[in-house]
């Protein structure tokens, strides 16, 4: 049975602390406003390797300090799991969640090796909830239950409350990963909305190393619920209700707009509101250490704002820093001046393109008879660092350097064992032992790439467009990066060539597809998709025509482009940042072609007519490996550091 890897972060409550349980009081008093919080997954978390384990639950854990626990084993029966859950302790969480999964989904056993933990425990980061989510997700994946993140959250919560530990309902929000999530609490109902940050936010959380009595804080604040009896109670309701809702609406807008200065100011305002209304009812909320550091004029130089964390008191403080550099200075200062250990939290604008498709199922007739032996994507090239790699690895590395997380290769079904042998099978120990260190690292890199790959079979080589269409289900309704399986790139600036295309796609607000283009000689346009259009920026054409492999005559008649005072030609370089609308157009092409080939270029031309397509003149060179004479040139030039 194969292992699979999981990572679950902890979570920090950025705004709205205490409103979660306050909103829960709507069960008895509907005049209370629903609670709203924004939480975010932390950079730190729990890593695990998991696989099915018939008949028992087997868990091993590695604590933050590197200590490995003894292995916990329990038979996969409801009674034994429930007993272990009720007994308490670290493994009770796993037993509690396993009992729930067995009861509701009839799963069998599981082995979980939590081989690394970077999450500080007992720092209000919900390490227990992270562990429960990890167990729920491991069952979900091992038994292919198809549960949504929301359902995993429920399983994690039910599992945790089967143990003696108490947890809040917002703790399991870490299931959404390292993104901010808005959660609303209305009596027993919770709704969860992942937010899409419009920019990067650099937070620093510092342990105030003070004292904090969470039970006392909760008891003092809860005394005002469910019905307000005094004007002060009414103030508490207002602070955790209407005022909280107002601040959270503004905070959500600031997150989505990428407005770090605005979000920092809101943190400071939230603390002021909290102090004004809640401090008078709870001595613990005077929190002298928190207020001293928030009022420190030196700290203000590096931050846009800050506030207390979690239940507040002298537990932790969070700051929104002006930059990565100012965060570094603040961290050093807090450690030096106050002896406060810190950890960083990044909230990042998500990449607009997370997936890449690389079709490599072509027949490779132009490289025959080599392709009778091996698919052409396994042809060797030597990279500038002197390592011999198959073409496909270099192309996948190009895609990953553009920021994508997952890559699908469209392959001929009979080639799958070859791809798996290369990317997903460990090197034999006797070979590994003989490799120099650099190549040992390379072996690890290849396996790391293998974890991000999906293979999609193309049973009949019905063209490049047909291969792309087969990836539709895997890509879903998102923009994606498409790379040819036989073109290599060398950037002449710091960003990879694919990264340049993706960034330009993002810069135009993801509103139109962008293809990489380069200047080509008239004699060679017959090999490539050729484009024409109007310059809208120095390096960007708004395309007016996309033409597959034109003759010289056709190119001269329809496809000239004026550039730097001369007539020239531009061809697509094999890198496309495409909106998902391409799939519908490819389907139309497929319907028109009957059993014939489906090419990308006509669909790209249709996409251009529908919603516009831009061409970016990339900074860099591309190398074809699919034509013998050009491949021979590529082998010579690609490894040379002189090429640009």
Residues of this chain that interact with ligand UTP (CB under 6 A) are 359-367, 410, 458, 461-464, 466-467, 484-486, 626
Lookup result for tokens 């100012």: 326
Contacts of 602 (CB under 8 A, 6+ apart): 465, 548, 589
Burial readout 430-456 (b: 16 or more C-beta within 10 A, e: otherwise)? eeeeeeeeeeeebeeebeebbebbebb
Q: Give the separation between CA 44 and CA 55, rounded to whole angstroms.
A: 32
Report in angstroms how near the CB of residue 474 gets to ligand UTP at its nearest.
14
Report in angstroms how near the CB of residue 593 gets to ligand UTP at its nearest.
12
Report in angstroms how near the CB of residue 450 gets to ligand UTP at its nearest.
19
Residue closer to ligand UTP (CB basis): 274 or 528:
528
Residue closer to ligand UTP (CB basis): 251 or 488:
488
- Residues 35 and 248 sit within 8 Å (Cβ to Cβ): no
Report in angstroms how near the CB of residue 627 gets to ligand UTP at its nearest.
7
Residue closer to ligand UTP (CB basis): 81 or 467:
467
Lookup result for tokens 């993801």: 510
Report in angstroms how near the CB of residue 390 gets to ligand UTP at its nearest.
13
Q: Give the separation between CA 540 and CA 508, rounded to whole angstroms.
A: 11
Report in angstroms how near the CB of residue 609 gets to ligand UTP at its nearest.
23
Q: Give the separation between CA 265 and CA 305, rounded to whole angstroms.
A: 5
By Cβ distance, which residue is nearest to ligand UTP?
Answer: 362
Vertex 490, ends 405 and 360: CA angle to 5°? 55
Residue closer to ligand UTP (CB basis): 367 or 525:
367
Tally of helices (H runs) and strands (E runs) in the chain: 24, 25
Report in angstroms how near the CB of residue 385 gets to ligand UTP at its nearest.
24
Report in angstroms how near the CB of residue 395 gets to ligand UTP at its nearest.
9
Q: Give the separation between CA 244 and CA 263, rounded to whole angstroms.
A: 14
Residue closer to ligand UTP (CB basis): 486 or 520:
486
Residue closer to ligand UTP (CB basis): 84 or 415:
415
Q: Retrieve residue 98's tokens.
A: 């396993």
Other C-beta atoms lying within 10 Å of the C-beta of residue 59: 26
Residue closer to ligand UTP (CB basis): 221 or 367:
367
Residue closer to ligand UTP (CB basis): 306 or 362:
362
Report in angstroms how near the CB of residue 461 gets to ligand UTP at its nearest.
3
Longest CA span, the chain: 89
Q: Give the separation between CA 486 and CA 370, rounded to whole angstroms.
A: 14
Report in angstroms how near the CB of residue 414 gets to ligand UTP at its nearest.
14
SS3 of 420-431: HHHHCCCCCHHH
Residue closer to ligand UTP (CB basis): 197 or 485:
485
Report in angstroms how near the CB of residue 363 gets to ligand UTP at its nearest.
4
Residue closer to ligand UTP (CB basis): 387 or 461:
461
Q: Give the separation between CA 370 and CA 379, rounded to whole angstroms.
A: 9
Contacts of 148 (CB under 8 A, 6+ apart): none
Q: Give the separation between CA 62 and CA 48, rounded to whole angstroms.
A: 9
Ramachandran category for residue 236: left, alpha or beta (phi over 0 → left; psi -120 to 50 → alpha): alpha
Residue closer to ligand UTP (CB basis): 175 or 586:
586
Helix (H, G, I), strand (E, B) or coil at 300: helix
Residue closer to ligand UTP (CB basis): 82 or 513:
513
- Residues 593 and 475 sit within 8 Å (Cβ to Cβ): no
- Residues 41 and 55 sit within 8 Å (Cβ to Cβ): no
Report in angstroms how near the CB of residue 361 gets to ligand UTP at its nearest.
3
Residue-wise DSSP of 385-430 = TS-EEEHHHHHHHHHHHTT-SEEEEEE-GGGHHHHHHHHSSPPPHH
- Residues 504 and 540 sit within 8 Å (Cβ to Cβ): yes
Residue closer to ligand UTP (CB basis): 217 or 391:
391
Residue closer to ligand UTP (CB basis): 132 or 484:
484
Report in angstroms how near the CB of residue 115 gets to ligand UTP at its nearest.
37
Contacts of 564 (CB under 8 A, 6+ apart): none
- Residues 148 and 194 sit within 8 Å (Cβ to Cβ): no
DSSP-based helix, strand, coil % in the chain, nearest 5? 45, 25, 30
Report in angstroms how near the CB of residue 185 gets to ligand UTP at its nearest.
50
Residue closer to ligand UTP (CB basis): 482 or 531:
482
Other C-beta atoms lying within 10 Å of the C-beta of residue 492: 11
Ramachandran category for residue 190: left, alpha or beta (phi over 0 → left; psi -120 to 50 → alpha): beta
Q: Give the separation between CA 68 and CA 185, rounded to whole angstroms.
A: 37
Report in angstroms how near the CB of residue 257 gets to ligand UTP at its nearest.
40
Report in angstroms how near the CB of residue 379 gets to ligand UTP at its nearest.
11
Residue closer to ligand UTP (CB basis): 151 or 461:
461
Q: Give the separation between CA 191 and CA 195, rounded to whole angstroms.
A: 13
């Amino acid at each position: 049975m194969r292992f699979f890897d999981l990572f679950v972060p902890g979570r920090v409550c950025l705004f709205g602390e205490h409103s979660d349980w306050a909103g829960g009081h709507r069960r008895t008093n509907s005049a209370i406003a629903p609670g709203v919080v924004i939480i975010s997954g932390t950079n730190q978390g729990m890593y695990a390797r998991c696989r099915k384990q018939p008949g028992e639950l087997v868990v091993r854990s590695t604590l933050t300090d590197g200590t490995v626990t003894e292995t916990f084993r329990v038979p996969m029966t409801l009674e034994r799991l429930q007993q272990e859950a009720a007994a308490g302790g670290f493994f009770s969480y796993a037993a509690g969640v396993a009992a729930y999964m067995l009861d509701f989904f009839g799963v069998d056993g599981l082995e979980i090796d939590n081989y690394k933990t970077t999450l500080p425990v007992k720092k209000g980061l919900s390490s227990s909830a992270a562990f429960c989510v990890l167990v729920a997700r491991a069952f979900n994946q091992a038994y292919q239950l198809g549960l949504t993140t929301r359902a995993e959250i429920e399983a994690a919560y039910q599992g945790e409350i089967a143990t003696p530990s108490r947890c809040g309902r917002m703790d399991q929000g870490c299931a959404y990963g390292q993104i901010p999530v808005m959660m609303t609490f209305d009596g027993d109902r919770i709704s969860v909305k992942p937010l899409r940050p419009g920019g990067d936010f650099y937070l620093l959380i510092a342990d105030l190393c003070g004292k904090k009595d969470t039970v006392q804080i909760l008891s003092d604040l809860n005394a005002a619920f469910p019905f307000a009896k005094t004007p002060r109670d009414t103030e508490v309701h207002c602070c955790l209700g209407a005022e909280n809702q107002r601040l959270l609406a503004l905070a959500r807008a600031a997150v989505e707009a990428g407005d770090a200065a605005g979000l920092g100011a809101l943190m400071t305002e939230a603390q002021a509101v909290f102090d004004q209304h809640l401090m008078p009812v709870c001595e613990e909320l005077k929190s002298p250490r928190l207020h001293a550091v928030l009022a420190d004029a030196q700290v203000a130089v590096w931050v846009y704002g800050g506030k207390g964390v979690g239940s507040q008191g002298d537990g932790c403080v969070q700051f929104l820093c002006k930059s990565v550099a100012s965060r570094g200075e603040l961290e050093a200062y807090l450690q030096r001046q106050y002896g406060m250990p810190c950890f960083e939290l990044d909230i990042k604008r998500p990449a607009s393109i997370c997936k890449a498709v690389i079709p490599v199922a072509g027949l490779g007739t132009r490289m025959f008879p080599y392709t009778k032996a091996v698919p052409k994507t396994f042809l060797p090239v030597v990279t500038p660092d002197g390592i011999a790699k198959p073409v496909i690895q270099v192309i996948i590395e190009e895609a990953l350097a553009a920021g994508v997380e997952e890559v699908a290769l469209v392959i001929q079904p009979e080639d799958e064992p070859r791809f798996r042998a290369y990317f997903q099978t460990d090197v034999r120990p006797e070979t590994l032992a003989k490799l120099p260190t650099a190549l040992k690292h390379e072996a690890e890199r290849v396996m790391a790439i293998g974890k991000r790959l999906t293979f999609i079979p193309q049973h009949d080589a019905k063209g490049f467009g047909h291969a792309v269409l087969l990836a539709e289900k895997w890509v879903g309704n998102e923009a994606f990066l498409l790379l040819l399986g036989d073109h290599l790139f060398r950037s002449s600036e710091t960003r990879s060539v694919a990264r340049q295309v993706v960034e330009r796609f993002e810069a135009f607000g993801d509103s139109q597809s962008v293809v990489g283009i380069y200047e080509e000689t008239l004699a060679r346009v017959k090999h490539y998709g050729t484009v024409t259009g109007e310059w809208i920026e120095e390096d960007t054409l708004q395309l007016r025509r996309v033409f597959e492999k034109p003759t010289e005559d056709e190119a001269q008649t329809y496809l000239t482009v004026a550039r730097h005072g001369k007539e020239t030609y531009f061809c697509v370089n094999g890198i496309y940042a495409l909106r998902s609308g391409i799939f519908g157009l490819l389907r139309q092409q497929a319907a028109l072609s009957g059993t014939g080939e489906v090419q990308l270029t006509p669909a790209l031309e249709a996409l251009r007519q529908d919603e516009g397509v831009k061409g970016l003149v990339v900074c860099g060179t591309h190398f074809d490996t699919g034509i013998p004479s050009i491949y021979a040139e590529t082998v010579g030039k690609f490894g040379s550091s002189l090429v640009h």
